[in-house]
Amino acid sequence: MSSWPRPRHRGPKILGAIVVVLLLVVVGVVTWAHIVMIGDRGKALVAWRDPAISITSTDHSIVMRPTGKSTGTGLVFIPGAKVDPYAYLYKLSGIVDSGVTVVITKPTLNLAFFDLRPLTTFTKDAPGVTRWFVGGHSLGGVRACQLADSPDVAGLVLFGSYCAGDLSHTSLTVLSIAGSRDGLSTPQKIASAKSLLPSSARFVEIAGADHASFGDYGAQPGDNTATISSASARRSITEALVATLR
């Protein structure tokens, strides 16, 4: 007498396949996140060799301190997505020369939205600072907006970026710098998000600067081509920062 075939237990095989796919996705994301846009070594060395600046590196930040008189003001700066933190040394060195301390973060997996560490993780690296600003470039600026609504933060600095949340109710001192040639965070996109910032926010547009002009890491996909030099962009950035952080 024949019998019905026993059903095969396919559950473990399906579960195993799902686990393998998830592992491959995680490995792929981690690998992708670690392929960063490397900073221009020559530009970074300009900051390293500046006698007015002391630079130290930790496992989570790069700290740039003035070797002369400090203003007591500090800026925690968050890099753009997958951009080498050292790519911002040259552009931020001008503000350090003026007496401001800068702490550049090293985001988790090189992506600001994965970095859930509190602002104090980075402000602790410069205990002598008494007045803190937080800022960032591109996606780093979006993360900076999330950290800015705090009684410990005096102001917000945005490089080619804009907020996703509403900060218009705050008393923050805000500086938003755009590049006229920015193909990613275009001046139009920045203007559209203006209502999310306090009415006193200051907006500066650097003629000829593209998205990558806020750092030194080469061309970025989707961006336009800058028509000004890195040195010219640095001068404009420094001028705007000095006027805001003084």
- pLDDT means per 10 residues, the chain with 246 residues, are 58 59 44 63 96 97 97 98 96 97 95 94 97 98 96 97 97 98 98 98 98 96 97 98 94
Domain count, the chain: 1
- 212 within domain boundaries: yes
Beta strands in the chain (DSSP E): 53-57, 61-66, 73-78, 101-105, 131-137, 153-159, 173-179, 202-206
Range of the domain at 199: 39-245
- 8 within domain boundaries: no
CB-based burial, 154-163: b 16+ in 10 Å, e otherwise:
bbbbbbbbbb
* pLDDT in the model for residue 18: 59
- 11 within domain boundaries: no
- 141 within domain boundaries: yes
- In the DSSP assignment, the letter for residue 98 is T
- Candidates 84, 30, 82, 26; CA nearest to 57 is 84
Q: Provide Rg for the chain, Cα atoms.
A: 22
Task: List CB contacts of 223: < 8 A, sequence separation 6 or more.
Answer: 182, 183, 184, 210, 211, 212
* pLDDT in the model for residue 28: 43
Distance (Å, whole) CA 40 – CA 224 = 19
Q: Where are the alpha helices (DSSP H) in 34-179?
A: 41-48, 89-97, 120-123, 139-148
Is residue 224 classed as helix, strand or coil in its secondary structure?
coil
- 80 within domain boundaries: yes
The domain that holds 106 is classified in CATH as 3.40.50.1820
- 174 within domain boundaries: yes
pTM (2 decimals)?
A: 0.87
CB-based burial, 69-98: b 16+ in 10 Å, e otherwise:
ebbebbbbbbbbbbbbbbbbbbbbbbbbbb
* pLDDT in the model for residue 39: 84
118 class by beta-carbon count within 10 Å (0-12 exposed, 13-18 middle, 19+ buried): exposed
- 25 within domain boundaries: no
